A and B are shown apart, each in its own frame.
Chain A
Amino acid sequence: MTAPQTPAEARRLVAAFLGDHDPAGPDALAFLQARFDAGLARPSWPEGLGGLGASSALNGPVDDAFAAAGAPDNRPHSNIIGLGMAAPTLLAFGTPEQQARWLRPLWTHEDVWCQLFSEPGAGSDLAAVATSAVRDGGDWVVNGQKVWTSLAHESRWALLLARTDPRAPKHRGLTYFVCDMDAPGVDVRPLRQLTGETEFNEVFLDGVRIPDDQRIGDVGAGWRVTQATLMNERVAIGGATPPREGGPIGTLAQHWREHPEDRTAGVHDEVLRLWVDAEALRLTSARLTQQLLAGQPGPEGSGAKLAYAQLAQRASAAELAVLGGEALRYDDWTARRPVVGDLAERTPGFRFLRAKANSIEGGTSEVLRNIIAERVLGLPGEPRTDRDTPWEDLPR
């Protein structure tokens, strides 16, 4: 099949597909699988892997056409790491066999994915991970502890960064794997967040065997693969282009319009500033997307995530200020697994607290500023002593 060139062509393909597959049919999974096989999961993915090798500008229109027909979706909100990070990493670095094995159930939401990167001793300094992977015949045997692993309790597969050569300098001794979360030796323990919910986990890996065909990229090339995952993560968190007043400004603007009794001059100015900043971020993200389409990745990726975190934190704080005394109330502190969904459906207090993580998860705002300073602006980094020393000799 030749790739569609225009949204109209893409919509015609969707219409033809819908003629053969009832979007209201009883088997949502079969529908999604058929959509994947027809290359209409993400038109920009390669043919045979859920796509048609088309421009990524057509992904949105295709999703919209399916949504307009009332078709079941693949619940993208609850598989952000799979769709936003694992899929692009597999497409860039996976073998054809690995892509064929994992992409379809990932996209259809049969398999949820998580990210086993951070460790107690390796957060911002991710290249310091201590979890070891040692070769044993056709397998690798993995031991270590990961932390802050979102959704590990729901995941079938994990992106895993582990150390395969402790004698090499830290960035060069790492290898990237896909870990089966159901494998013996994987122990997921809930960690509770300040919202009350247990959205993330610590994960203990005790003699976990990973077949070598689940290694992504070369042995020792894990840092390069990780960079690709992280860049995609930042775009996934900050780089979406919502409609005007989508995202963190939406609930604030809506409350302001609906509750004249809560309006004050002081907060009004802040609301307007936030509206302007939200629009600036939206348009910056749109430019970023257009640059990516035009094949000129711009420096705005880290910037968008940085600005998104600030906006989400300020807008949710302004919501509390608008509510005044009513914001002294919360909804529920009980420790429980969260239902990942639309933040707009949660209370302002929850949004305020949850937004605090936006400047930590996926690379802290400080680390993103370092990236912008060093990799975008070309400024020298701070002196480092840990680059060329074998990892095992570094102070810890």
Chain B
Amino acid sequence: MSLTAETPTTTDQDEDAGALPDLLYSEVEEDLRASVRALLAARSPWDAVLARTESDERTDTDLWARLGTELGVLGLPVAEDDGGAGASWREVAVVAEELGRAVAAVPFLGSAVTATAVLGRLGADELLTALAGGRSTVALAVPFGRLSGTAPQATCTRTGDAVSGGVRSVADARTADVLLVPTDDGALLQVSTDQPGVTRTPVVSLDETRPLVDLVLDGASGSVLATEAADAADAVAYGTTVAAAVLASEQLGVAEWCLQSSVSYLQDRRQFGRTLASHQALRHRCADLWVQVTQARAVARYAAACAAEDSADLAVAASLAQALCSDVAVRAAEECLQLHGGIGFTWEHPVHLYLKRATSSALALGSPHAHRSRLARLVDLPAPTDEEPA
């Protein structure tokens, strides 16, 4: 299927509309979750995450290495022949969920999801193998806010193998050793960051657990991964679509943490001689949030399954997941903050890490508004052409 095409896909009559993929977690997935959660509990407690946001080492390279060596989760969807685990995007999504729950500062989304999907689509096996084996960290050099499922708007030019130009607000690139750079002639190049022609300027980011850089390339040497504009565009569109699908699970993890934290705080905190949880108004807020989280979970699972199966509905599932899970995660973080009162507004309490992650994730890969507009085209609910009736 072509991901860049914006033609509506009406429900395919041939497909059995009732045949939804498995939306539950398998036993294997639950085991995977448990091991990731245990590693994060030991290695990435929230106060360490917070301290890191103000340190020179924004990326937790030690945790990143352990995710590769101890758990082997950096190449989950990569075929075993290519050095991966031969699993699927479903398992990747479970890892993302746990990383979201811990607001962990690792370039998982950029390297183990986006770049992995782009390289897989192009059949760039050598780099894929290095990535899956944890020997290489790769970032797609596209602004993090750029709508998923679209061809890149290249801001770099190419002369032979030399690339020049700038890319603003790139995520997960601080510790990457390879960048995937789209150029304005439609090509996609792999550029090593270990050369004088590559400058990464740290950006003060709304979410410092996933900090951005501004990238400047000045005659940096690269090697071509795709010369055909159609191939490069398709790979980037596909990679970012898969990223949008998986990001929904990360957002789910953020929302789950916020709900859990709210519920336990309301049970502990006493005002007016009783626990806050004894107020029905506050219990109802948690109940509403729980309903939203269950919806986020269903939608995120569906998106992951569509990515795993390379379903014809992937583009719809990814935009649906971004439109819904973005809002749920932000809402959950806002509720969590409000239900904590004054303490929730402080730097010393973790909720702001979740609020900033949720807010940034909502803007990443296209805002919920942009994804709703995308859905408008995908499911044939066009925008009105004339705003004002005569």
Residues in A lying within 8 Å of B, measured CB to CB:
118, 122-125, 128, 147-148, 191-194, 196, 264-267, 313, 317, 320-321, 324-333, 335, 349, 352-353, 356-357, 359-361, 364-366, 369, 382, 384-386, 394-396
Contact = CB atoms under 8 A, between A and B. Distances in A.
29 contacts: A118-B342, A124-B341, A125-B271, A194-B347, A264-B370, A265-B383, A266-B372, A321-B363, A321-B367, A324-B363, A324-B367, A325-B143, A325-B144, A326-B169, A327-B206, A328-B144, A328-B145, A328-B360, A328-B364, A329-B203, A349-B206, A352-B359, A353-B352, A359-B338, A360-B345, A366-B279, A366-B281, A366-B282, A394-B273
B270 interface: yes
A124 B212 CA distance: 39
Contacts of A369: 281
A360 B144 contact: no
Contacts of A191: 346, 348
A149 to B, nearest CB: 11
B41 to A, nearest CB: 24
A147 B53 contact: no
A373 B356 CA distance: 34
Given A265-B383, A356-B334, A325 B208 contact: no
Given A192-B346, A324-B370, A364-B338, A124 B271 contact: yes
Contacts of B28: none
Nearest to B339: A366
B234 interface: no
Given A191-B346, A192-B346, A320-B359, A325 B146 contact: yes
B369 interface: yes
Interface in B355-383: 355-356, 359-360, 363-364, 367-370, 372-373, 383
B272 A384 contact: yes
B205 interface: yes
B373 A330 contact: no
A365 B335 CA distance: 12
Contacts of A365: 338
A265 B145 CA distance: 18
Among B270, B341, B348, residue most surrounded by chain A Cβ atoms (within 10 Å): B341
Interface in B178-208: 203-208
B47 interface: no
B271 A265 contact: no
A328 B212 contact: yes
A36 B186 CA distance: 70
Interface in B151-185: 169
Given A325-B143, A353-B355, A366-B281, 14 more contacts: A124-B272, A193-B347, A194-B345, A320-B363, A324-B367, A324-B370, A326-B145, A327-B145, A328-B206, A328-B360, A332-B204, A365-B338, A366-B282, A384-B273
Interface of B: 53-54, 143-146, 169, 203-208, 212, 270-274, 279, 281-282, 330, 334, 337-338, 341-342, 344-348, 351-352, 355-356, 359-360, 363-364, 367-370, 372-373, 383
Contacts, number: 126
A325 B145 contact: yes
Given A125-B271, A266-B372, A357 B206 contact: no
A395 B342 contact: no
Given A320-B359, A327-B363, A356-B334, A386 B342 contact: no
A352 B281 CA distance: 25
A203 to B, nearest CB: 14
Contacts of A326: 145, 169
A319 to B, nearest CB: 12
Contact of B205 (A321, A328, A366, A396): A328
Contacts of B370: 264, 266, 324
B369 A325 contact: no
- Interface on chain B toward A: helix, strand, loop, or mixed SS? mixed
A382 to B, nearest CB: 7
A128 B54 contact: no
Contacts of B360: 328
Nearest to A324: B145
A123 B372 CA distance: 40
A335 B51 CA distance: 13
A118 B204 CA distance: 33
A53 to B, nearest CB: 39
Contacts of B342: 118, 123, 147-148, 360-361
Given A356-B337, A366-B281, A329 B169 contact: yes
Given A191-B346, A266-B373, A395-B270, A331 B204 contact: yes
Contacts of A123: 271, 341-342
B369 to A, nearest CB: 4
B367 A386 contact: no
Contacts of B272: 124-125, 128, 384, 386
Contacts of B144: 325, 328
A131 to B, nearest CB: 16
A335 B50 CA distance: 13
B348 A192 contact: yes
Among A123, A124, A325, residue most surrounded by chain B Cβ atoms (within 10 Å): A325
A204 B63 CA distance: 40
Nearest to A192: B347
Contacts of B364: 325, 328
Contacts of A320: 359, 363
Given A265-B383, A349-B206, A193 B345 contact: yes
A329 B347 CA distance: 18
Among B203, B360, B383, residue most surrounded by chain A Cβ atoms (within 10 Å): B360
A329 to B, nearest CB: 6
Contacts of A395: 270, 273
Nearest to B348: A192
Contacts of A330: 204-206
B367 A357 contact: no
A125 B342 CA distance: 13
Nearest to A325: B145
A267 B369 contact: yes
B342 to A, nearest CB: 5
A18 B241 CA distance: 67
Contacts of B355: 194, 353, 356
Contacts of A321: 363, 367-369
A325 B346 CA distance: 26
